[in-house]
Amino acid sequence: MKILWVKADKLLPVQNGGNIRTYHVLRYLCARHELTFYSYYGGLPDPDYERELQRQLPGAMAVCTGKRVLSGAPRALDYLAHLGAPPPYAVSRFADAKVQKQLQDWFREQRYDVAVCDFLDAAVNFPGRLNIPSVLFQHNVESEIWRRHAATAGNPAKKMIYRMEFRKMLRYERAVVRKFQHVIAVSANDRSIMMQWVDADRVTVVPTGVDLAQYRPDPTESAPANSDPNPLAASAPLITFVGAMDWEPNVDAVEYFCAEVWPLIKAEVPRARFRIVGRNPGRRVQQWASNSNSNSNHGSIEVTGRVPSVVEHLRQSAVVVVPLRIGGGTRLKIYEAMATAKAVVSTTVGAEGLDVHHGRDIMLADDARSFAQAVIMLLRDPALRRRYEKAAAETAARYDWPAVGERFSEVLRSVAEKKSPAARAILARLAEKKA
């Protein structure tokens, strides 16, 4: 099967959840099919990235669009300049004429059996007429994230902007989902939302996976409670949050946990420590570490920034927390923590779409008091914690990436075999002539 896979932004180094999911599926497909991975990115040309991409995914193509990568004040000004435009800013900024021309040529030549659009930001460059069977890979329902932003924002100006972007994104996302012949969702919840826009048989769930070769319990750990080399670890248990700290839902989660949940935990387990692990923590996150010498925290909050590997941080944890209030899709961090045999406490939103069960392999809590009580119970009761750790590892073991990659491959094959009405008519005429 000849597959074209199109993605906006760089894939490597593999850091965020979407890229992790894409990377592992691509590695599986590349070993079994004729795959062209087309990656386009802004900023300056990056020959190191392009060489490494070719090494890991033979046949890959990387194109530098040369667009300026904006952040901070310049990005805010650029957003204001596009405020009146109909498309959502999160998508329109990825439009590129050179990429559009390349995709138009490929679709006109029909050289592939199936094309994959890796999320909405790449869809802006796909041709209007998809005469190659095409699949939209939806890592989450983006409009749902904007809706939750609007629902939780306290600042009136932010709330207004979130509501406006939600309306734009909803119109755009609904149109794109309807445009593609098939959609791959990562959770049943996402599928149920998109089924309001298209027929149910056009949306398939391919679940999130975990790299069981990398994320596994510490084989040298004799006591399952807390393997932190710190001699105070037994009396100063570690609670950990893992996630990219330049993603707004993660920042909101950390702010909520530190402000509302952590004081309740500290009141009951005074020596407990909280570690925030993830790249690019901004001022809103760093302030919790800088303020941790206050009377309420006593130096108990640590912000690591980027780390070489999160595995050791997970292994050192007594409990892993996922206090997300905003988000969509599925959280790889939960399966990763579970694969290392760690007890997890999450909000319902944080665990949304995963094959987990409250009271068996995870604890779910949606208000600050019940979230804190769940963490406290696990810290105080080692036998209870070990029961959750064992169940968590058993759940994660069912979702190794090769199994997920095979399911993805099956969906692509099915879509590729469903030709358009025009193609079916041509094939039928050819069959009649041969007869």
In this prediction, residue 298 has a pLDDT band, given cuts at 50, 70 and 90, of low
In this prediction, residue 200 has a pLDDT band, given cuts at 50, 70 and 90, of very high
**What's the mean per-residue pLDDT of the chain?**
90
Cβ contact 246:279 at 8 Å: yes
pTM of the model: 0.82
Q: CA separation (Å) from 402 to 9, 87, 118?
A: 24, 36, 19
Q: Please give the pLDDT value at position 20.
A: 93
Residue 221: pLDDT above 70?
no
DSSP 19-83: HHHHHHHHHHHHTTSEEEEEEEE-SS--HHHHHHHHHHSTT-EEEE-------HHHHHHHHHHTT
On the 0-12 / 13-18 / 19+ scale of CB atoms within 10 A, 71 is: exposed
Cβ contact 318:239 at 8 Å: yes
Q: What percent of the chain has pLDDT over 70?
A: 90
- The whole-angstrom distance between residue 246's C-alpha and the CA centroid of its chain comes to 13
* Tens of pLDDT, residues 136-148: 999 999 999 899 8
Taking the C-alpha atoms of residue 113 and residue 108, their distance in angstroms, rounded to an integer, is 13
Taking the C-alpha atoms of residue 234 and residue 321, their distance in angstroms, rounded to an integer, is 19
